[in-house]
Amino acid sequence: MNPVGAVEMMATVPLFSGLPKAALGELGSSFRRKEFPPGAAIFRQGDPGGEMLVIFSGRVKIETTTPRGRRTVVALLGPGDLFGELSLIDGAPRMGDAVCMDRVEAWSLSASDFYPCLEAHPELASGFLRILASRLRDADAAFQDIVFLDIPARVAKRLLELAESHGTERDGAIELGMPLTQGELAKMVGASRERVNRALAGFAAAGLVEAHGRRYTIRDVAGLRAATKGPRR
């Protein structure tokens, strides 16, 4: 791997961006470049851990299987996002599947390369704590959504979250930069594809959201935000 490219990538990732340049160069030389075709599983739930990955290009979805066999999309990740960090810390088996949504270039870092840098730069520990806190907050919010919100409200909230992380504002609307099937959206909100389809149709009829294939445009952010307040059904 080109260490200069690794340093440039790391500078955009919150976990590493606060490190001194010398530390970025030291850690950057330890990254390994990997490429995966669309649909490839980078790892599966239950696989051994021991490395984390940072996405340079492409998209990855993190999925888990419930004890009842239901598939749930936990996260959709794009360039600059990292994943697999929990197994980097404790070496425990993977808690979900990481599947490529299209061609992915990712840079991996093993635990054996990471820990010496962590000892030399303890400030990395605070970055990990922030990541873990964010993951816990997201998990708690997802649980509360399922308990308290109806399906249209859950869909509206997830679209707004995707708009914040992957959206581009254009002519007063927000275009989601990440293509998304109704099935993937259904897995993200814990609902059937049919019920998600009905929710999206309702948003389209109200002028809140436009769908063109797998591409979504939010036309009325305030109106969609109001739809997140719906009661649980």
DSSP bridge pairs for 209: 218
DSSP bridge pairs for 146: none
Torsion of CA 177, 178, 182, 186, to 10 degrees: -120
Strand order of the β-sheet with 71-77 is 41-43, 97-100, 60-65, 71-77
- pTM score of the predicted model: 0.75
Residue 25 to residue 6: CA distance in whole angstroms: 8
Q: What is the CATH number of domain 3-145?
A: 2.60.120.10
Residue 61 to residue 78: CA distance in whole angstroms: 9
What is the chain's pLDDT, residue by residue, as a tens digit (233 residues)? 455 566 777 777 877 877 777 778 877 788 888 999 999 999 999 998 888 999 988 999 999 887 777 778 888 898 888 899 888 777 788 989 999 998 999 989 888 888 887 888 887 888 778 888 888 888 788 778 877 889 999 999 999 989 988 888 888 899 987 788 898 899 888 888 999 999 999 999 999 999 888 899 999 999 999 999 865 44
Domain-by-domain residue ranges, the chain? 3-145, 149-227
Residue 27 to residue 24: CA distance in whole angstroms: 5
Q: Give the rounded distance of the alpha carbon of 179 from its chain centre.
A: 13
Domain 149-227 has CATH 1.20.1440.130: no
- Enumerate long-range contacts of 218-227, CB under 8 Å, 24 or more apart: 218/159, 218/160, 218/163, 218/167, 218/173, 218/174, 218/175, 218/176, 219/173, 221/160, 221/163, 221/174, 224/156, 224/159, 224/160, 225/156, 225/160, 227/152, 227/153, 227/156, 227/203
Torsion of CA 68, 69, 70, 71, to 10 degrees: 150
Residue 185 to residue 158: CA distance in whole angstroms: 8
Per-residue model confidence (pLDDT) at position 233: 47
